[in-house]
Amino acid sequence: MKTAIPAGRLGVAALAIAAVLPFLTDNYVTDVALTIVTYGILALGLNIVVGYAGLLDLGYAAFFAIGAYTTALMETLLNFNFWETIPFALLFAGISGVIIGWPTLRLRSDYLAIVTLGFGEIVRIIAVNLDITGGPNGIYGINPADVLGHDLTSPKSVYALGLVFLVIVLVLVIRLGQSRLGRAWTSLREDENAAEAVGVPTLRVKMLAYVIGALIGGLGGSLFAARFGTIDPTSFTYAQSVTILIIVVLGGRGSIPGVLLGAIIVAGLPEALRFLNLWREFVFAVALILLMLVRPQGLWPARLRRIAAPSADEAHDVPHAEVAKQIAAVTAGDPETLLEARNVTRVFGGLKAVTDVSFTVHRGEILSLIGPNGAGKTTVFNCLTGVLPPTSGSILWDGRSLSGLVPHKVVGRGLARTFQGIRLFNNMTVFENVLVGMDHRFRVPLPAELMGLPFARRSTGLHYAAGRNWLEFVGLADKAGLRAGDLPYGDQRRLEIARGLAGQPRLLLLDEPAAGMNPTEKQSLMGLIRRIRDLGTTVMLIEHDMLLVMGVSDRVIVMDRGQIIAEGAPAEVQSNPRVIEAYLGTEEDDADDGPIGNIPVGMLA
Amino acid sequence: MSEFIQLVIAGLTTGSFYALVALGYTMVYGIVRLINFAHGDIFMVGAFLGWTVLTALAATHMPWGLGILIALVLAMALTGGIGVVIERFAYQPLLSAPPLSILITALGVSLALENGVLLIFGPGFNTYPQLIGSGGFMIDGARITDIQVGIIILSFLLMAALYFFVHYTFIGTAMRALAVDRDAARLMGINVEGVIQITFFLGSALAAVAGVMEGLYYTEINFFMGFVVGLRAFTAAVLGGIGNIPGAMAGGLLIGLLEAFSAGYISSRWTDVIVFLVLIGTLVIKPTGLFGERVVERM
């Protein structure tokens, strides 16, 4: 794994070479370099959508077009100068980002391809068909950018302007990648539903990916218009969108050096292949296929780790980062009845998965929900957390209804969960997984975080320290920098718990936390659950392992076929004939033999 | 009224091309979750292969019906073979790689096919021999040509044949099993790679039929012709609900009609805008397309 510093030095060195390039070569090379810089800017913008957020966009050239046409039209019709047009170019590109983002938010990811492609084509066809945009001929006589009264017309000076834009975009995308928004995008790419369920406002985050990507595309468009002085629709075709996408994927999705390398290759290679004449495009296509076959992840794949966890000493030095204090702060005013489910029913098609279920969760208890497979336990969890709306009935949390809240809002109210099948963000580090779980309560405004203002840095330090302390709480502090998907099974379960806890929940829902664990791991899980309760967080768990359930629970609720059939202390439930019947079935003989009495714990498992 | 009928027939004719090409998109997507961006160019290759055969046969003076049949069969077989080769070398190694990587190779294949045909056949238009006369008949003032009728009938026959193949044969059942769960299908003893290749063969062969018919209908073909048809067919597949075979057929015909009506009543300059707006509007209202089913994910 490459560490951050050499990559940074390499980047600075590359930029330095780029800066002196025009002084060493002729105008032709400078011109090609400017094309590479323009593609670099565009690809960095698209990389936010495709690389960071994992969404597809086949119409990215539309934003490029909107920026270029805004600058061109405002300069030629309204006599604005280049700099005055930039805010408008960004504004219009941003608005179009919202327009394209909105209908695509709820679409399956595969459908994004055609919708974004359609959007790109619509923008181009409008430019071809309208008179104001000059139709197929485009717009002539766009003034060059001016700096202190000097027009930037020479190739060297336009190149310098492009390089400045590139550096601004670079700083922005690097900072974004390290911010909570960058993490949210990556979590979205890894597992959208899990992201939503641990507190990421996925719809807003997707929208932001399109909008910020659009802003960068618009900026690239303005630069393009000022560079050539003339634009026409042929620069903004589907092929252009595809070229930018190829740069991102060939270079390495999400990898900033990769994307820049991709820009150099895709924009530079056709120039280098000019001697092939007619064969050039064909050779380029075959080279593209071969490169993807050899390196499916891209030429320079993204680094796994964007931010490092603080060390134990650093984390312990930060005041207010202790896990106990964090939880105490949110659970202080909890009422006696934390949650109340009233007559909750959930129907799938004709099947009643959960029927008329009512129960309460008391502050500070460990409550288990057990029952045979298919009893409706996970459906109850899904209703509580907003994943599924109940067909009827209501859920009161702290006296207020939770109905109609989407999952990330429920997390914000203090309900966190884990999943029956582990759903970590595999291609993020262990530390970043925990951070995603706690980012919803990180209150620093995003611009302040991106600029690294002093108060934002302090809050970020506290945030990271708290995240690291949660890893320590579950015993994973020494694995903070590993890829989450590489952890052994038991550790993955504990990481999911840490991710849930890091959001400072008042109630933690664990869905079969012991599944697949060996006896030693189960033993330590029991200890962990008790420690969570001792912090002040109430715990409700679904579990099949009766040793664990009977060992840790204060109360047990038993479900069978969608209904609650028993409720009470572990010992009471164990001897309840209806429970035994649900687990073991009835036979005629059993009835004659009289009460079975306390069946061995092992049999229920 | 006569204009309306005229537009319906024109729309069904082009819609038949879109439907046949859309089937390839939808079958491949259903089975390997790949949007095969090279598929429009497969259609183009089919048109050029058909042209090559027909031009070669022109000297033999055989009956035109037989000539077209030979051209269709050869174009189907060869294009299907090309589809299989592409799958084997450009897609199969990446089936378990990130989906975007395989999408980029598909774009690369598309570029390679276009430029390959450009290198072999040149940048201009190639003209199909005029085999089917301009005969036809009138309905209520609308003129319908023989070739339009032939195209629509042949397309419907092929679509019906495909539907029966997928639903009532062993291989078709295997294809549907693969679409549901590739790993489970493999565990049941299905030769997954083989079924995927058959799917590519069928999709490519159907696209070739559309290519040859388009050549016969418009008489001029060009290396770039796959782009527009591919785009419309892909739109059709999504409109119908991608992965759904009857959906692709219905979507293709709908897009053809939409195109004919917008060209006839509004302006052909805005056809693409109208088609895409209808698509986006449909997806906003029904995110899975007209016939697609909602996939509920378990948590």
- Test mutation, B100, B120, B227, chain A, max A CBs within 10 A: B100
Q: Which residues of B touch A279 (CB under 8 A)?
A: 119
Q: What is the pLDDT of residue A593?
A: 43
Q: Residue A9: its pLDDT value, please?
A: 82
> CB distance B111–A288 less than 8 Å?
yes
* pLDDT-based confidence at residue A351 (cuts at 50, 70, 90): confident
Provide mean pLDDT across the span B192-209: 95
Q: Kindly tell me if the per-residue pLDDT of B234 is higher than 50.
A: yes
Q: Domains in chain B, ordered, with CATH?
A: 2-121+139-285 (1.10.3470)
Q: Model confidence at A6, in pLDDT bands (50, 70, 90)?
A: low
Nearest to A42 by CA among A294, A302, A189, A236: A236
Binning pLDDT at 50, 70 and 90, where does residue A12 land? confident
Question: Which residue would you say has higher pLDDT here, B298 or B99?
Answer: B99
As a dihedral over the C-alpha atoms of residue A477, residue A482, residue A486, residue A492, rounded to 10 degrees, the angle is 30
Q: Domains in chain A, please, with CATH? A: 7-294 (1.10.3470), 321-414+504-604 (3.40.50.300), 430-502 (no CATH)
* Non-local CB neighbours of A343 within 8 Å, separated by 6+ positions: A356, A357, A358, A392, A393, A394
Please give the pLDDT value at position B297: 53
Q: What is the mean predicted confidence (pLDDT) over A492-498?
A: 94
Q: Which of B97, B108, B235 is the closest to A285 by Cβ?
A: B108
pLDDT at site A24 = 82
The answer to whether the Cβ–Cβ distance between A387 and B299 falls below 8 Å is yes
Separation of alpha carbons A115 and A104, rounded Å: 7
Side-chain-facing half-sphere of A470: CA atoms under 13 Å: 28
What's the pLDDT at A589? 44
Residue B252: other Cβ atoms inside 10 A: 33
C-beta of residue B194 within 8 angstroms of C-beta of residue B13: no
β-strands B142-145, A563-568 pairing: unpaired
pLDDT at B117 over 90: yes
Distance between CA atoms of residues A410 and B143, nearest Å: 63
- Give one word for A343, left, alpha or beta, with left for phi > 0 and alpha for psi -120 to 50: left
Long-range contacts of B171-177 (CB under 8 A, 24+ apart): B171/B195, B171/B198, B175/B27, B175/B30, B175/B31, B175/B199
Residue range A526-536, pLDDT digits in tens: 999 999 999 88
3-state helix, strand, coil in chain B (%, to 5): 75, 5, 20
Question: For position A5, what pLDDT does the model report?
Answer: 52
Residue with structure tokens 């992965």? B243
> What is the pLDDT, as a whole number, of residue A603?
41
Give CA–CA dist A136/A323, Å, rounded. 63
Q: Span A27-41, mean pLDDT?
A: 91
Per-residue b or e along A194-233, where b marks 16 or more CB atoms closer than 10 Å to that residue's CB: bbbbbbbbbeebbbbbbbbbbbbbbbbbbbbbbbbeebbb
- Convert the pLDDT of each residue in A57-92 to its tens digit: 999 999 999 999 999 999 999 989 999 999 999 999
pLDDT of the residue at B299: 52
Residue A20 CA to residue A363 CA, distance in Å, equals 66
**SS in 3 state form for A328-343?**
HHHHCCCCCEEEEEEE
CB-nearest to B280 from A115, A253, A298 is: A115
Residue written as token pair 């504004």: A91
Q: What is the DSSP string of A70-95?
A: HHHHHHHHH---HHHHHHHHHHHHHH
Whether A580 has a pLDDT exceeding 90, the answer reads: no
CA closest to A242 among chain B residues: B107
CA of A197 to nearest chain B CA: how many angstroms apart? 10
Q: What is the Cα A283 distance to its own chain's centre?
A: 37
Provide the chain A residues 279-308 that lie in CB contact (below 8 A) with chain B: 279, 281-282, 284-286, 288-289, 292-293, 296-298
The reported pLDDT for the residue numbered B293 is 65
Nearest C-alpha in B relative to A194:
B299
For B121-133, what is each residue's pLDDT tens digit?
A: 988 899 988 777 7
Per-residue pLDDT averaged across B216-241, rounded? 92
Q: Whole-model pTM?
A: 0.89
Q: Give B18's contacts in chain A (Cβ within 8 Å).
A: none
Closest C-alpha to B48, from B112, B117, B132, B116: B117
Q: How confident is the model at residue A308 (pLDDT cuts 50, 70, 90)?
A: confident
Q: Are A118 and B100 a contacting pair at CB < 8 A? A: no
The confidence score (pLDDT) of residue A268 equals 87
Environment class of residue B247 by beta-carbon count within 10 Å: exposed (0-12), middle (13-18) or buried (19+)?
buried
Residue ranges in B124-190 assigned as alpha helix (H): 146-168, 170-180, 182-187
Given a cut of 80, whether residue A605 has pLDDT beyond it is: no
- Cα angle A72, A73, A77 (rounded to 5 degrees) comes to 125
Token pair for residue A321? Answer: 């980062």
**What is the per-residue pLDDT for A470?**
92
What secondary structure, in 3-state letters, does A106-173 show? CCCHHHHHHHHHHHHHHHHHHHHHCCCCCHHHCECCCCCCEECCEECCCHHHHHHHHHHHHHHHHHHH
Of A108, A279, A297, the CB nearest to B287: A108
Q: Do A250 and B104 touch (CB under 8 A)?
A: yes
A-chain CB neighbours of B275 within 8 Å are: 118
Q: Which residue of B has its CA nearest to A104?
A: B284
Q: pLDDT value at position A587?
A: 56
Task: Name the 3-class secondary structure at A558.
Answer: strand
Lowest mean pLDDT among A317-331, B92-106, B148-162, B219-233: A317-331
Q: Is the pLDDT of residue A599 over 50?
A: no
In this predicted structure, what is the pLDDT of residue A337? 87
| Residue A360: count of CB within 10 angstroms of its CB | 17
Nearest-CA distance from B141 to chain A in Å?
A: 33
